[in-house]
Amino acid sequence: MGNREKKVAVVVGEAQKKEEAFAEALLAKSISVELVVEKDCSLRVGVPITVTEITAEEELAATFRKIFDRYGRIDYLINCMDFYLEKPLIDTEEEEWDELIMRNLTAVFLSCKSALPYLVPGGRIINVTSDAARLGARKASAYAAAKAGVVTFSKSLARESVSRGIAVNVLSVGLMEDEERALGWESGVDSIPLGRTGKWEEAAAFLASLLEAPKYVTGQTFHINGGLYMP
């Protein structure tokens, strides 16, 4: 049984650099971190890892129940799902479209639905998405559509969650250091005013600070992109 006075964050996604960076930033704030992924993995940071099917509602709900039973609380939920397929629309099969929507959007819905019964009043949900939601993505229309769906879903959830005292926001990232894809943003790095790709440590530092924002900050999308997209 964990320290029930210590705040707890559940990070749902993959075992990639972004999850490591987010976990490190949260640990630095003395927040307990639980990583929920689909495949067993090992990370540089020492955090508990739970393997579950993130697109299966019953499994995911059971996972959050177990995490709550272990710690006695869940304060923060960070959804980092990111499943990508580069393919022209005319060549995209319906099954591929369905999978992209399921893994990028439906999984976020299921995670939020599963976590809400256990989030403490004053809790925070941050859904991580891509600037493809705003800019579009050549040869990745389903991906961009799913990411845009996360933004609108999060705004709607923010309105619903006010009565629970829970703030919901979106962290939207541009072209990051470990991404080979350019999402059809024609000149890649050359199109970024700052002149380089982003570092996940930068996104993680902002994410950690957003968890401490007043609860009046809700339903917002924050862009980490070096100036690639300016609302």
Residue 179 confidence (pLDDT): 63
* Domain CATH for 109: 3.40.50.720
230 domain residue, yes or no: no
Residue 1 is assigned to a structural domain of this protein: no
Q: What is the pLDDT of residues 194-231, one digit of tens each?
A: 888 889 999 999 999 999 999 899 999 999 988 888 87
Distances (CA, A) of 94 to 5, 140, 196: 47, 14, 35
pLDDT digits (tens, 9 = 90+) for 149-168: 999 999 999 999 999 999 99
- How many domains does one find in the chain? 1
Q: Domain for residue 179, yes or no?
A: yes
In a domain, 231, yes or no: no
Is 12 part of any domain?
yes
> Is residue 62 situated within a structural domain?
yes
Within the chain, which residues score under 50 in pLDDT? none
pLDDT of residue 192: 84
Residue 38 covered by a domain: yes
Asked if residue 2 belongs to a domain, the reply is no
Which residues have a catalytic role annotated? Answer: 143
What phi and psi, each to the nearest 5 degrees, are found at residue 217? -85, 100
Contact 103, 53 (CB under 8 A): no
3-state helix, strand, coil in the chain (%, to 5): 40, 20, 40
Where in the sequence is the domain holding 19, given as residue range(s)? 8-224
